[in-house]
Chains A and B, each alone.
Chain A
Amino acid sequence: MVKEMNTDKQKILSLLEQVPDPEVPVLSVIDLGIVRDVIFFNTPSGAGGIEVIITPTYSGCPAMDIISMQIKMILLEHGFKKVIVTNTLSPAWTTEWMSEAGKEKLRAYGIAPPNAVQSVCDVNLFAEQETVQCPHCKSYRTILISQFGSTACKALYKCNNCLEPFDYFKCH
Chain B
Amino acid sequence: MNSLIDPLIQYSLHLADNSLILGQRNAEWTGHGPILEQDIAISNISLDLIGQARNFYQYAAQLINQSTSQPVNQLTHWAITEDILAYLRDEKDFKNCLLVELKRGDWAVTVLRQFFFSTYQFYLYQQLQKSEDATLAAIAEKSLKEVTYHLRWSAEWVIRLGAGTDESNKRITTALNDLWPHTGELTVNADYENILSLEEIAVDLNTIQVQWMDKIKEVLSQATLQMPENKWMQTGGKQGKHTEHLGYILAEMQFLQRTYPGVEW
Contact = CB atoms under 8 A, between A and B. Distances in A.
A4 interface: no
Interface string A149-172: 110100010000000000000001
B146 A146 contact: no
B216 interface: no
Contact of B139 (A89, A125, A149): A89
B159 interface: yes
B222 A90 contact: no
B136 to A, nearest CB: 10
A146 B41 contact: yes
A59 B38 contact: no
Interface string A66-97: 00000000000000000000001111110000
A90 B131 CA distance: 13
Interface residues of A, number: 28
B143 A59 contact: yes
| Centre residue among B138, B145, B151 by max chain A CB count within 10 A | B145
Contact of A59 (B54, B148, B219, B222): B54
Interface string B39-59: 011001101111110110000
B146 A148 contact: no
B189 to A, nearest CB: 25
A90 B144 CA distance: 12
Given A91-B141, A146-B37, A156-B37, A61 B51 contact: yes
B145 A60 contact: no
A59 B52 contact: yes
A150 B51 CA distance: 17
Contacts of B146: 58-59, 152
A58 B41 CA distance: 15
B149 interface: yes
Contact of A89 (B37, B55, B155): B55
B153 interface: yes
Contacts of A89: 55, 138-139, 141-142
Contacts of A7: none
A24 interface: no
A147 interface: yes
B152 interface: yes
Contact of B48 (A60, A93, A150): A60
A150 B40 contact: yes
Given A89-B138, A146-B40, A123 B54 contact: no
A48 interface: no
Given A147-B41, A147-B153, A121 B148 contact: yes
B129 to A, nearest CB: 9
B115 to A, nearest CB: 11
A59 B143 CA distance: 7
A152 B44 contact: yes
A-B residue pairs, 3 tightest by C-beta = A60-B51, A59-B51, A90-B138
7 contacts: A56-B142, A89-B55, A92-B144, A121-B145, A125-B156, A147-B41, A150-B40
Given A90-B137, A120-B145, 6 more contacts: A59-B146, A62-B47, A122-B148, A123-B148, A123-B152, A172-B145
